[in-house]
Structure 1
Amino acid sequence: MTTPRQQTEPDGAEAPARPARPAYLAPDRLASLRHAAPFWVSFLLPPLAIVAAIHGGWTLALLPASTWWLFWGLDLATGLEKANADPQTPDDQLTAYRLITALWVPVQCVTLFALIYYATHSDHLSGGEKAWLFFGVGILTGTIGINYSHELMHQSNRLERNLADLLLAMVLYSHFRSEHLLVHHRYVATPRDAVTARYNEGFHRYFPRVLAECPGSAFAAERAMLARRKLPWHHRSNPYWRYAALQGAMLALAFGLGGWAGLGLFLLQAFVAIWQLELVNYVEHYGLTRRHLGDGRYEHVKPHHSWNSARKASNWLLINLQRHSDHHYRPDRRFPLLQTYDEDEAPQLPHGYPVMTVAAMIPPVWRRVMNPRVRDWRRRHYPDIEDWKPYYKGGLPLPR
Structure 2
Amino acid sequence: MHHTKPRAEVEDRGMSDTRTWKDPKRHLWPLCLLVPAGPFIACLLANSVSGLLWGFGGYLLLVVVPLLDLIRGPDRAGPPDDAVRTLSADRYYRWCTYIFVPLQYAGLFFGFWCLAFADMTRGERVGLSITVGMSAAIGINAAHELGHKREKLEQGLAKIALAQSVYGHFYVEHNVGHHVKVATPADPASARFGESLFAFYPRALYGGLVSGIELETARLHRQGHRFWNWRNTILQSWSVSVAIVVVIVAAFGWAMLPYFALQAVIGMLVLEAVNYIEHYGLLRIPTAEGRLGKVRPEHSWNGDHLVSNVVLLNLQRHSDHHARAARRYQALRSCSEAPQLPAGYAMMVVLAFFPPLWRKVMDPRVLSHYNGDLSRVNVHPPKADKIEQRYGGASAEG
Give the TM-score of the pair, scaled to structure 2: 0.85
Match of 1:134 among 120, 129, 132: 129
Structure 1 position 116 matched with structure 2 position 104: no
Match of 1:147 among 120, 141, 144: 141
Tell me, in whole angstroms, the C-alpha distance in 1 between the residues paired with 2:378 and 2:52: 49
CA contact (8 A) 2:101 2:160 kept: yes
Give the letter aligned to residue 48 of structure 1. I
CA-CA distance at 1:59 after TM superposition: 1.6
Tell me, in whole angstroms, the C-alpha distance in 2 between the residues paired with 1:161 and 1:387: 39
1:346-368: CA deviation from partner (whole Å, max 9, x where unpaired): 00000001110000000000001
CA contact (8 A) 2:193 2:377 kept: no
* Residue of structure 1 in register with 2:294 after alignment: 300
Mapping for residues 43-122 of structure 1, pairs under 5 Å: 43-45=33-35, 46=37, 47-52=40-45, 54=47, 57-86=51-80, 88-90=84-86, 93-122=89-118
Report the identity percentage.
Answer: 34
SS of residue paired to 1:109: helix
SS of residue paired to 2:334: coil
Match of 1:362 among 354, 377, 381: 354
Higher relative contact order (CA 8 A, sep 6+): 1
Tell me, in whole angstroms, the C-alpha distance in 2 between the residues paired with 1:299 and 1:335: 24
Give the letter aligned to residue 125 of structure 2. K
CA contact (8 A) 1:189 1:290 kept: yes
Could you say if the C-alpha distance between residues 235 and 279 of structure 1 is closer, same or farther in structure 2, counting changes exceeding 3 Å? same
Give the letter aligned to residue 41 of structure 1. L
SS of residue paired to 2:150: coil
Tell me, in whole angstroms, the C-alpha distance in 1 between the residues paired with 2:60 and 2:140: 18
* Residue of structure 1 in register with 2:198 after alignment: 204
Structure 1 position 316 matched with structure 2 position 310: yes
Could you say if the C-alpha distance between residues 99 and 212 of structure 1 is closer, same or farther in structure 2, counting changes exceeding 3 Å? same
SS of residue paired to 2:368: helix
Mapping for residues 149-298 of structure 1, pairs under 5 Å: 149-298=143-292
Could you say if the C-alpha distance between residues 313 and 187 of structure 1 is closer, same or farther in structure 2, counting changes exceeding 3 Å? same
1:9-40: CA deviation from partner (whole Å, max 9, x where unpaired): xxxxxxxxxxxxxx99956655x7x7421111
CA contact (8 A) 1:86 1:337 kept: no
* Residue of structure 1 in register with 2:381 after alignment: 393
1:214-246: CA deviation from partner (whole Å, max 9, x where unpaired): 111111111222233343333432223312311
Could you say if the C-alpha distance between residues 307 and 120 of structure 1 is closer, same or farther in structure 2, counting changes exceeding 3 Å? same
Q: Which runs of 5+ in 1 are unaligned?
A: 1-22, 396-400
Rg larger in structure: 2
Tell me, in whole angstroms, the C-alpha distance in 2 between the residues paired with 1:25 and 1:278: 41
Match of 1:42 among 14, 29, 32: 32
CA contact (8 A) 2:188 2:207 kept: yes
CA-CA distance at 1:258 after TM superposition: 1.6
SS of residue paired to 2:287: strand
CA contact (8 A) 1:24 1:86 kept: no
Give the letter aligned to residue 111 of structure 1. G
* Residue of structure 1 in register with 2:392 after alignment: none
Give the TM-score of the pair, scaled to structure 1: 0.84
Higher mean alpha-carbon deviation, 61-70 vs 206-215, is at: 61-70
Give the letter aligned to residue 353 of structure 2. M
Tell me, in whole angstroms, the C-alpha distance in 2 between the residues paired with 1:28 and 1:221: 44
SS of residue paired to 1:36: coil
Structure in which a larger fraction of residues adopt helix: 2
CA contact (8 A) 2:281 2:379 kept: no
CA contact (8 A) 1:306 1:347 kept: yes
Give the letter aligned to residue 145 of structure 1. G
Could you say if the C-alpha distance between residues 94 and 368 of structure 1 is closer, same or farther in structure 2, counting changes exceeding 3 Å? same
CA-CA distance at 1:84 after TM superposition: 1.5
Tell me, in whole angstroms, the C-alpha distance in 1 between the residues paired with 2:190 and 2:176: 14
CA contact (8 A) 2:43 2:54 kept: no
Structure 1 position 329 matched with structure 2 position 323: yes
SS of residue paired to 1:275: helix
Tell me, in whole angstroms, the C-alpha distance in 2 between the residues paired with 1:337 and 1:103: 19
Give the letter aligned to residue 238 of structure 2. A
Tell me, in whole angstroms, the C-alpha distance in 1 between the residues paired with 2:275 and 2:16: 29
Could you say if the C-alpha distance between residues 261 and 53 of structure 1 is closer, same or farther in structure 2, counting changes exceeding 3 Å? farther
Tell me, in whole angstroms, the C-alpha distance in 1 between the residues paired with 2:248 and 2:206: 25
Could you say if the C-alpha distance between residues 52 and 173 of structure 1 is closer, same or farther in structure 2, counting changes exceeding 3 Å? farther
SS of residue paired to 2:85: coil
CA-CA distance at 1:131 after TM superposition: 1.2
CA contact (8 A) 1:116 1:257 kept: no
Tell me, in whole angstroms, the C-alpha distance in 2 between the residues paired with 1:369 and 1:139: 26
Give the letter aligned to residue 210 of structure 1. A
CA RMSD of aligned residues (A): 2.4
Higher mean alpha-carbon deviation, 254-263 vs 97-106, is at: 254-263
CA contact (8 A) 1:149 1:165 kept: yes
CA contact (8 A) 1:308 1:324 kept: yes
CA-CA distance at 1:319 after TM superposition: 1.1
